[in-house]
A and B are shown apart, each in its own frame.
Chain A
Amino acid sequence: MNLTPTQHKRLFLLLRISIICILAVAFFLLAFEEGIQAYLTPKQLTDNPNLCQKSSCRLGALVKLGSLELLHPTRVRFIAEEAENSKQSLIVEYQGVLPNLFKPGKYMLAEGKIEQGVFKAQRILAKHDEYYRSN
């Protein structure tokens, strides 16, 4: 391809700018990785509980099958686990309305703080996967 000197100059300027931009964005995303993550896992919280004691954080986990109990008509307690039957788990307490898709055996996302070893959730969201099933 024949490029005039101006076009040649512009093409290489564009290449240089794009390399710089890609690097800048990559470093930015790597540096802010923790902020970009939507939640922490039970493993991260059990290893390092002070992540979530002073300020609130978000926990994403599986609701352990058979662990959901009603403490009061609007107050629930359940066990959030890393994966099915894993040892890394946390007790979560929540007062409020649960989303429709919140079910034992499914993923959920809780926002709150750890108080005396219990995750006190202020808000609970349901997380669903990308699989669609018909009966």
Chain B
Amino acid sequence: MSAQASLLHFVVSPQSFLSTVLRYEYRLTILAYTIISCALYYGLFKAPVDTTQGEVYRIIYIHVPLALLSLLIYCLLGACSILTCVWSLKSSDICATACSVLGSMITLLTLITGSIWAKPTWGTWWFWDARLTSECVLLCMYVSFLCMRFASTNQKACMFNSAVIGCVGLINIPIVHYSVNWWYTLHQGSSILHFAKPTMPADMLYPLLGSILGFSILSAVLLLQTMQRIYTTRQTIPAPHGKSAA
């Protein structure tokens, strides 16, 4: 199925799309966990020690994939929110809601792993520089989307208002990404997400790329499962006021 056709398929009939994709649920989950365990094994045990930071740099194999996904998932949430705002699509609303659930967890984990990395290297758990603050704002955007989405029983209003929050939060994405270039920050610059040579040798880089791939597949599966769960919940629980949800 081409990408365009599958997108259309999803928009027209989320349920049949989800059940088609989730037929591969177990295989994809096993694939994701296999890739993650291989990448983490190579990253944590086989990759060479960094000369500046020592062993502590190995948290990069968890922190960077999570940080990357926190931004990617918000991009998806924002795109879905635009669709919801203009076309009031039920499927895009379900997708954005699932993104906000997963994304808020991933962003929280990014901040926690970042803190754990910061203490032994910088010497502090937290510092209000541009990168850390904007990532914190990203978490707030996810959480406010989630809160607004379930704020009342008026499904239509919740759907539209949360989509507006989702659109507005998109402005934050370039700020998070370019904060380390635009301002002086305590956080270091980008290691892989830039148009230049990666800043590490190949035997450190490949486990990192593997870890990013594994975590991405895992998030995709989790996202689809969450969407399926939201979809079935909305089908089985009748919406108040005798109207169907959205």
Contact = CB atoms under 8 A, between A and B. Distances in A.
Is the A/B pair a real complex? yes
Contacts of B47: 134
Interface string A65-108: 00000000000000000000000000000000011111000100
A17 B166 CA distance: 13
Contacts of B170: 18
A38 B183 contact: yes
B183 A33 contact: yes
A132 B53 CA distance: 8
Given A14-B85, A38-B127, A132 B186 contact: no
Interface in A41-74: 41, 60
* Interface size, A (range): 35 or more
Interface residues of B, number: 39
A38 B186 contact: yes
B8 to A, nearest CB: 13
A25 B200 contact: no
Interface string B160-177: 000000011011000100
B184 A130 contact: no
Interface stretch (B102-110, B115-123, B149-157, B216-224): B115-123
A126 B200 contact: no
Interface string A3-44: 100010011001001100110010001000100111101000
A133 B51 contact: yes
A25 B174 CA distance: 12
Given A14-B82, A60-B186, A130-B191, 8 more contacts: A3-B86, A7-B86, A14-B86, A38-B183, A99-B122, A129-B189, A132-B57, A132-B200
Interface of B: 47-53, 57, 60, 82, 85-87, 120-124, 127, 129-130, 167-168, 170-171, 175, 183-186, 188-191, 199-201, 203-204
